[in-house]
Structure 1
Amino acid sequence: MKFKETINDEVLAKEPHRVDYKQKIVWKNVIIFTYIHFSFFYGLYLTYFYAKFWTILWNYGIGVISGIGITAGAHRLWCHRCYKAKWPLRFILMIFQTVALQDNIYQWVRDHRVHHKFTDTNADPYNARRGFFFSHIGWLLVRKHPDVISKGATIDMRDLEQDPLVVFQKRYYIYLMSFFCFIVPAMVPWWVWGESLWNAWYMAVGRYCINLNLTWLVNSAAHIWGIKPYDKSITPTDNTSVSFMTFGEGWHNYHHVFPWDYKAAEFGNYGLNVTTALIDFCAYLGLAYDLKTASTDMIEKRILRNSKMMSY
């Protein structure tokens, strides 16, 4: 399954940067995200002065599997169908994505497919043309633009509606996300090595805050700063720093041009693309297969076409 990922300059010209609807603040989200970010700073304080080493290591590990749940799971497997996975890997990635608590897989994929199909229009949930703050976190603090809702209804989600793991997670998400994102990360340090439950809780919320902001950087920073070797007419950029922090998701100009490439990048550089290394390892174990990637000839032709566009 392939999806139209970019829009041309003509479409952008018809949709100037303006907000043509009354924005309604979602105060519940404002309060929640304010608490989460204050908890990060308090958790950082506890980490430096009071936390046990094993609690720090534990939260780092939880942060890593949260990121993998988004990059290898929600993004490359379920959203773009870049590769196929056998049920043990699918189950593990479903759990990892639940730990990340960034909406259930179904909702995450629908928002992201809308983002790709209607990039930088009012139908884009995290429209980068509305500024860094909006594309980073602001889109979660206000009601969605009507176009996001209407265009989102046109997205084909039949593949996920027929996926038992996705359906199961969506049905029980309220219980699963509470258990895997907060209860287990906070209770294990308390039970196993005697960490203060207070410390464990705030460090878990702080870790969650870090994971959120790293993911959001792909929507914000990787649409503003970086280079555009593959398509200069779109906002997504290749940003090395973002790629390093997000396990390989920062090669965003490439990704919007070749969204079905499981590497999400031209090169399989494991140092800056941990997700690709993981998928390759899973393929070696026989858990992942049918890995899709763009050919060298296809990439070279696209770069040449883009360089000609840049010369005009």
Structure 2
Amino acid sequence: MFIWCRDHRLHHRYSDTDGDPHNSKRGFFFCHMGWLMHKKHPYVIELGRRIDMSDMQSDWMVMFQKKYYYPLYLLLAIFIPMYVPLYFFGEHWWHSLLVCYFLRYVFSLHGTWFVNSIAHLYGTRPYDKNLQPVESWFVSVVTLGEGWHNYHHAFPWDYKAAELSYFINHSATFIEFLDMIGLAYDLKTASPAMVLNRIARTGDGSHYLLGDEETRKAVTAWGPLHPLNPTYNSTLQPPSAVLKPEGLPLFHEKDVLKLKISRRSASTA
């Protein structure tokens, strides 16, 4: 958890540059799984040391998991998944190992890596055409809602990681259930006005409500043109990415400014 959180914060701040651990500009294989087989880029190492992790370091549960990662991994990822079919269903230990550990692990890993690869390469950018990440129905189906990636990078602090929590977004639904029973709280989300401002200001025109037909037609795919096709892609050129020491902002001042102006106008009307 601690290492993932550090790398994920680095990924958002320096997205799709040499400061990004899984920089999609280096190709599909690299951002999907090759980044785990390479030495880290020097910028990733240098900039990773600057990421503030004080909140994670003050969380006893995160630090407990970090300290006892290997025994916890053996217990939770290997022993328990293998033991259940062995004890309750009389399964052979070898079959249990192959299916409940290896097959499950390979499937979950590639599903997770799709967010770094497909969801950065094949899709549309209705919220911010200046960001490399895209909206991918295919990845959302595989990952239970983590494929609405253009929105997630436009509003990285939104718990839904998508504009809608009820459309192929079981992750958000689960978080809302935890909030309902008191196990999650202080959920942060972008207001509808802020989302609309961002779509109007930086969207590529493909938004399902506010887009235009001309842009929606500017879509291509390998094979059938279907939203669940993993190669579903906009013909618009992907944006360039420039590495800046300060990284990308958590939010855009223009969105907040427009929101303040609209609120002020509504209060004086």
Q: TM-score, normalised by structure 1?
A: 0.64
Shift of 1:149: 0.6
Match of 2:20 in 1: 124
Give the Cα–Cα distance (whole angstroms) in 1 for the partners of residues 19 and 74 of structure 2.
Answer: 30
Q: Call closer, same or farther: CA 1:268–1:194 in 2, change over 3 Å.
A: same
Q: Which residue of 2 aligns with 1:193?
A: 89
- Equivalent residue runs for 1:232-247 within 5 Å: 232-247=129-144
Q: CA deviation at 1:306?
A: 1.5
For residue 106 of structure 1, report the CA deviation from its aligned partner. Answer: 0.4
Whether contact under 8 Å (1:222, 1:250) holds in the other structure is: yes
1:222 partnered with 2:119 = yes
Shift of 1:308: 8.1
Letter of the structure 1 residue corresponding to residue 130 of structure 2: S
For residues 197 and 306 of structure 1, the distance between their equivalents in structure 2, rounded to whole angstroms, comes to: 54
Distance 2:77 2:57 in 1: 24
Structure number, greater radius of gyration: 2
- Counterpart for residue 102 of structure 1: none
Tell whether the 8 Å contact from 2:126 to 2:204 is kept in structure 1 after alignment.
no
CA distance in 1, matches of 2:47, 2:41: 10
Distance apart, 1:268 and its partner CA = 1.6
Aligned mates of 1:194, 1:244 — CA distance in 2: 33
Shift of 1:283: 1.2
Which runs of 5 or more residues in structure 1 are unaligned?
1-104
Aligned mate of 2:72, from 176, 181, 186: 176
- Structure 2 CA distance for aligned equivalents of residues 163 and 281 of structure 1: 23
Normalising by structure 2, report the TM-score.
0.74
Contact 1:182 1:205 in 2 (8 A): no
Counterpart of 1:64?
none
CA distance in 1, matches of 2:20, 2:113: 14
2:54 counterpart of 1:155: no
Corresponding residue SS for 1:268: coil
CA distance in structure 2 between the aligned counterparts of 1:107 and 1:307, rounded to whole angstroms: 32
Question: In angstroms, what is the RMSD of aligned CA positions?
Answer: 1.7
Determine which of 185, 208, 211 is the counterpart of 2:108: 211
What CA deviation, in whole Å up to 9, does each residue of 1:144-170 have, x standing for no partner? 111111000000000000000001011
Match of 1:250 among 147, 150, 164: 147
CA distance in 2, matches of 1:207, 1:128: 26
Distance 1:237 1:290 in 2: 27
**Residue 186 (structure 1) shift:** 1.0
Give runs of ≥4 in structure 1 deviating > 2 Å.
Answer: 307-311
